[in-house]
Structure 1
Amino acid sequence: MTKSMTSGNPLKLMIQFAFPLLLGNLLQQTYNIIDAAIVGQCLGAKALASVGASSSVQFLVLGFCMGSCAGFGVPIAKYYGANDSDRMRNSIFNGAFLTIVIAVILTTACSLLCPQILHILSVPEDIYQNAYAYLIIIFLGMPFTLLYNYLSSVLRSVGDSKTPFLFLAISVVLNIFLDAFCILVLKWGCAGAAIATITSQAVSGILCLLFILHRLDFLCLKKENRHLRFAPIKELLSMGLPMGLQFSITAIGSMVMQSANNGLGSVCVSGFTAGMRIKQFTMCPFDAIGTAASVFCSQNYGAAKPDRIRKGLWQSMLVAVVYGIVAGLIMIFAGRTLSMIFVGKEAVDVLDASGKYLRCMGFFYWSLGILNVSRMVTQGLGHSMRAVISGVTEMLARSIVSLCFVGSFGYTAICFADQTAWVSACFYIFPTCLYCVHKTTKKLMKQQNVQ
């Protein structure tokens, strides 16, 4: 199922690669929606607020894990595109070592600091216990999250996006059954939702490992590859840490925003949680297109094909922007109705809050297409630190809106924080991406002329 993206129609290849990613993301978000629906409908609006009250810190920590693993995949994709199997396997081994180190450090630190994290987020007292039970289990299960994300990143780097999707599909179906069983049968409440999530992630990670060991011999490590080496570790860290930090820095702004929103009361927390679930669902195509563009450009960078890099950038960005316009219109006109998935129609205040959040966001949703593709292509070409700056821009924009305007404008300020961050980041990352593509293609063309 592996596939080189260094020849053939760029748009067709990226769509073929992105489609399983999209299905996988949609499946994951479908589970998140079902999870939130079960919690909200069966346990009540306060339980839904408990699950959502720490979503920003989950994005910070788990986003660092996912970003780091995605970054570790960039050198693997480059060496796969260059047909350098030995350096590719060296990168896989050293990436696995770094992933284990991250798992140990983050799991220990986050579990010990869980009460302080909830305090920083200003979680209301009436939902604190359930929020703690949910978050501590998510933190303890981080090694399983890292296992799946690293191995799926390895598979995607060599052009296989179908296998991670298939295993994710299995885990999502399992997750739904476990969710219902733990919440409805065992009566474990919010903790049951977290246990179901972690168990399913463990299954998907183990399935990825078994598939690589038994089906993909060229990825299996030889004796000479099983050594820690300074050069691969340095390269992996130069890509993984900035990508992880970019996710986390962005999430810091989300934490400031969520802390400000939590201070507005449980109605705003519930409305924000419902709206955020819908937002995460509609963001799936952006993530799939951005990842496809990143892998495509990275492989063609390794294969020294500058024209394909340029085509990949523009074609993927066009698709992302058109999708953003369509999704934005849906959020504007149907956001409140879609929010009824999570809460009953009698919860008028919560539905109004969710609908307002989605409606305000919908007018600027197209900008997220420019942001995601520009950022991912910049990272795929090896300029991770430049992408981090876009994350800093997002963080500052969200923080400024949350700290300076929520006091005066209340929930309305929360409804405009995300799009302010996206547009602000676009002003930096879009021209930066164009510069990086120009610099990379010029370098490759110069190398070709020398040869």
Structure 2
Amino acid sequence: MSNTLENNFTEGSVLKTMVKFAWPLFLANMLTTFYNVVDTLIIGMFDGSVGISAVTTGGQILNLLTTVGMGFSNGGQILISQLKGARDQKSLNSAIGSLLTLCTIIGLLLSVVGLFGTQLGLRLLNTPAEALEGATDYMQITSIGLVFMFLNLALSAIMRGLGDSKRPLLFTAISAGINVVLDFLFVGPLHMGAFGAGLATMLAIVCSVLFALVYLYRRREHFSFDFKRRSFLLLPRWLKEYLRLGIPLALQSSVINLTLSYVLSLVNVYGVAASSAVGIGGKLINVCCMPYFAVSTAAGSICGQCVGAGKLDRVKKTIDTTMLINFCITAVTTVVIVFCPDPIIHLFDKNPEVVDICRLYLRLHIIHNASMAIFSSHGAACTGVGNTTLSAIAYLTDGVFLRLTLCLLFTRVFDMGLFGIIFATAVAPVGADIIFATYYWGGFWRKAGKRRYEMLNAAAQSAAAPEPAE
């Protein structure tokens, strides 16, 4: 692995650049999902459906808390990629330090929320009585480590914004390896159940963050951050930018997870088998969506750098390439879901009722995957130019106005039961498709990108100007 910790995305072949940048992101996303999948597999082996329900329900609240960190770190990635494209080194250094400090503060605050809000959250989710103790244990141990989760998210976002996806993969691989070993130890021989699964995940992330900080510090001469104490100051200039970019992203992710939590509470009414099946199905669909996330994240970083450099035609070429790749991904995942779902489900749970429900979940979510191909492509243009507010509106349309509304409509008006809930979650992303496609094909992103370039260029020139002599 070379010493270069940054890459210029404003030149060269778009397809080659995207594939080179996206494949480590895909592997890193797979390994991140692997944390949850390993938890579920091992819990299923030793604690059965009750253990899976506990980890799934506790994990839903954990996801709700971590989405706040994801929102601010992803907002940081947008800003850092734009500053990288504008070649404003001085601003890059202070922006990186401010992001690390901000994510640390937010992580500490939400750790307190997680510790003291566990019981309320689990009651709101209608957690099955037999899974309540395990879900409580899982939530409380993972809440303690939230600050490290947030730092992990921030470090990965910084590296992606600078154009490096290989180091985040390295850091994630270290975490995944430690997680697997500790999972088997804590849940298997030590019989620590859901608490052990949560403890394994947290210790793995702590090790990954410490390794990443030491690694980057020792190579700081190749990195856009000097690690000096003054550089960690949370500057008002960057706080304002991170709030502008991060709040809509955090809001969209939090609301999506809130609606998913509400959907899970509706599912839990149908018992442990339904809870387990939807939990397994959700994890498998997340795996199917990992390539979309990787490609759209790569596209967002490329678009951000191109906006900072004023190369808007290259932004369009990037989005068109993203769309082509995503449709190929959809074809592959559809074949797998249609022809061989059962052997995959059996890895988690062989209960016939669980398998039947999970198979239905996967096949209905082919619609969801096709929608992901569209809105993750067009959404990259939206986030690349820094319009996170529209992104939030699109996701709120998905999560609140469609997913939530359709769930209530199908269950309470049409009495479609569990099928109605699953179908509602599958078709909800269509609303976001329409919004993002309109923004892209209407050319609104180009106007926003031009304004953003002019602002960044003016700021860079101002920072480079010599100070007046006294």
Normalised by the shorter chain, which TM-score bucket? over 0.9
Do the aligned residues in 2 keep the contact of 1:256 with 1:398 (CA within 8 Å)? Answer: no
Matched, 1:57 2:61: yes
Superposed, 1:97-246 pairs within 5 Å as 97-217=101-221, 218-222=224-228, 225-246=231-252
Matched, 1:423 2:430: yes
Matched, 1:411 2:415: no
RMSD: 2.0
For residues 149 and 285 of structure 1, the distance between their equivalents in structure 2, rounded to whole angstroms, comes to 18
Q: Which moved more, 1:53-62 or 1:154-163?
A: 53-62
Given the superposition, is the C-alpha separation of residues 137 and 151 from structure 1 closer, same or farther in structure 2, using an over 3 Å criterion?
same
Deviation at 1:223, TM superposition (A): 6.4
Given the superposition, is the C-alpha separation of residues 315 and 224 from structure 1 closer, same or farther in structure 2, using an over 3 Å criterion?
same
For residues 274 and 327 of structure 2, the distance between their equivalents in structure 1, rounded to whole angstroms, comes to 30
Deviation at 1:224, TM superposition (A): 6.0
Structure 1 residue aligned with 2:439, among 429, 432, 435? 432
Do the aligned residues in 1 keep the contact of 2:292 with 2:373 (CA within 8 Å)? Answer: yes
Deviation at 1:364, TM superposition (A): 4.0
Do the aligned residues in 2 keep the contact of 1:306 with 1:440 (CA within 8 Å)? Answer: no
Equivalenced residue count is 447
Deviation at 1:173, TM superposition (A): 1.0
Deviation at 1:222, TM superposition (A): 4.8
Structure 2 residue aligned with 1:84, among 84, 88, 95? 88
For residues 86 and 100 of structure 1, the distance between their equivalents in structure 2, rounded to whole angstroms, comes to 22
Matched, 1:384 2:388: yes
Structure 2 counterpart of 1:331, one-letter code? I
Structure 1 counterpart of 2:364, one-letter code? C
Structure 2 counterpart of 1:438, one-letter code? R
Q: Find the residue that maps to 1:21 and give its secondary structure.
A: helix
Matched, 1:277 2:283: yes
Do the aligned residues in 2 keep the contact of 1:50 with 1:128 (CA within 8 Å)? Answer: yes
Given the superposition, is the C-alpha separation of residues 406 and 139 from structure 1 closer, same or farther in structure 2, using an over 3 Å criterion?
farther
Given the superposition, is the C-alpha separation of residues 326 and 443 from structure 1 closer, same or farther in structure 2, using an over 3 Å criterion?
same
Show CA shifts across 1:36-93 (max 9, x none): 1111122111111111123433322212212211111211111111111101111112
Do the aligned residues in 2 keep the contact of 1:275 with 1:354 (CA within 8 Å)? Answer: yes
User: Aligned residue for 2:458?
Assistant: none
Given the superposition, is the C-alpha separation of residues 362 and 123 from structure 1 closer, same or farther in structure 2, using an over 3 Å criterion?
same
For residues 139 and 228 of structure 1, the distance between their equivalents in structure 2, rounded to whole angstroms, comes to 24
Deviation at 1:349, TM superposition (A): 0.4
Structure 2 counterpart of 1:428, one-letter code? I
User: Aligned residue for 1:309?
Assistant: 315
For residues 40 and 452 of structure 2, the distance between their equivalents in structure 1, rounded to whole angstroms, comes to 48
Q: Which moved more, 1:260-269 or 1:424-433?
A: 424-433
Matched, 1:27 2:21: no
Given the superposition, is the C-alpha separation of residues 58 and 331 from structure 1 closer, same or farther in structure 2, using an over 3 Å criterion?
farther
Given the superposition, is the C-alpha separation of residues 394 and 55 from structure 1 closer, same or farther in structure 2, using an over 3 Å criterion?
farther
For residues 358 and 287 of structure 1, the distance between their equivalents in structure 2, rounded to whole angstroms, comes to 18
For residues 223 and 127 of structure 1, the distance between their equivalents in structure 2, rounded to whole angstroms, comes to 46
Q: Find the residue that maps to 2:310 and give its secondary structure.
A: coil
TM-score by length of 1: 0.94
Given the superposition, is the C-alpha separation of residues 5 and 120 from structure 1 closer, same or farther in structure 2, using an over 3 Å criterion?
same
Show CA shifts across 1:5-39 (max 9, x none): 01111111111111101111112223422221111
Structure 2 residue aligned with 1:250, among 241, 249, 256? 256
Given the superposition, is the C-alpha separation of residues 58 and 374 from structure 1 closer, same or farther in structure 2, using an over 3 Å criterion?
farther
Structure 2 counterpart of 1:187, one-letter code? H
Do the aligned residues in 2 keep the contact of 1:307 with 1:441 (CA within 8 Å)? Answer: no
For structure 2, the 5+ residue unaligned runs are 456-470
For structure 1, the 5+ residue unaligned runs are none
Do the aligned residues in 1 keep the contact of 2:76 with 2:242 (CA within 8 Å)? Answer: yes
Give the fraction of aligned pairs with identical amino acids, expressed as a percent: 27
Q: Which moved more, 1:285-294 or 1:334-343?
A: 334-343
For residues 118 and 208 of structure 1, the distance between their equivalents in structure 2, rounded to whole angstroms, comes to 33
Structure 1 residue aligned with 2:405, among 394, 400, 404? 400
User: Aligned residue for 2:328?
Assistant: 322
Deviation at 1:441, TM superposition (A): 5.2
Given the superposition, is the C-alpha separation of residues 339 and 302 from structure 1 closer, same or farther in structure 2, using an over 3 Å criterion?
same
For residues 418 and 55 of structure 1, the distance between their equivalents in structure 2, rounded to whole angstroms, comes to 18
Deviation at 1:429, TM superposition (A): 2.0
Q: Which moved more, 1:434-443 or 1:106-115?
A: 434-443
Q: Find the residue that maps to 1:367 and give its secondary structure.
A: helix
For residues 119 and 40 of structure 1, the distance between their equivalents in structure 2, rounded to whole angstroms, comes to 23
Deviation at 1:442, TM superposition (A): 5.3
Structure 2 residue aligned with 1:17, among 18, 21, 33? 21
Structure 1 counterpart of 2:344, one-letter code? L
For residues 236 and 31 of structure 1, the distance between their equivalents in structure 2, rounded to whole angstroms, comes to 28
Show CA shifts across 1:245-283 (max 9, x none): 121121122112111101111110011111112111111
